Amino acid sequence: EAQVTQNPRYLITVTGKKLTVTCSQNMNHEYMSWYRQDPGLGLRQIYYSMNVEVTDKGDVPEGYKVSRKEKRNFPLILESPSPNQTSLYFCASSSRGSQPQHFGDGTRLSIL
């Protein structure tokens, strides 16, 4: 079954404690992306990757890092989380950015 898997699904943590949200896809997609969803703001792209070792900033990259060492994995790293990064995060993948995205089920992060 085609899947984008995010972990964890829920996380409550404290300011400054580094965390990583993992994302894995089994569709051999080249394009992967991270979004955050906030009420009234819709989805905003954080980072995207067009292939292994190729990443680029989206609309709201500040405070986040990503890496793409393998095609299937695209982790999102918060080196020093702050309360304004409390949000619902989605990972997505597709063959290209101009093609329909397959979304994960989301990760709800609360930074206290």
Partner 1 sequence: AQSVTQLGSHVSVSEGALVLLRCNYSSSVPPYLFWYVQYPNQGLQLLLKYTSAATLVKGINGFEAEFKKSETSFHLTKPSAHMSDAAEYFCAVSEGPNFGNEKLTFGTGTRLTIIP
Q: Give the binding site for partner 1 (CB under 8 A).
A: 4, 31, 33, 35, 40-45, 48, 50, 56, 58-59, 90, 92, 96-98, 100-101, 103-106
**Residue number, 12 or 14, with CB nearest to partner 1:** 12
DSSP state of 84: G
**Residue number, 79 or 105, with CB nearest to partner 1:** 105
**Residue number, 63 or 106, with CB nearest to partner 1:** 106
Please tell me the distance from the alpha carbon of residue 74 to that of residue 70, in angstroms, as a whole number.
Answer: 8
Cβ atoms within 10 Å of 58's Cβ, excluding its own: 17
Q: How far is the CB of 19 from partner 1 (least distance, A)?
A: 20
Q: Which of 88, 34, 82, 24 minimizes the C-alpha distance to 56?
A: 34
Q: What amino acid is encoded at 57 in this protein?
A: K
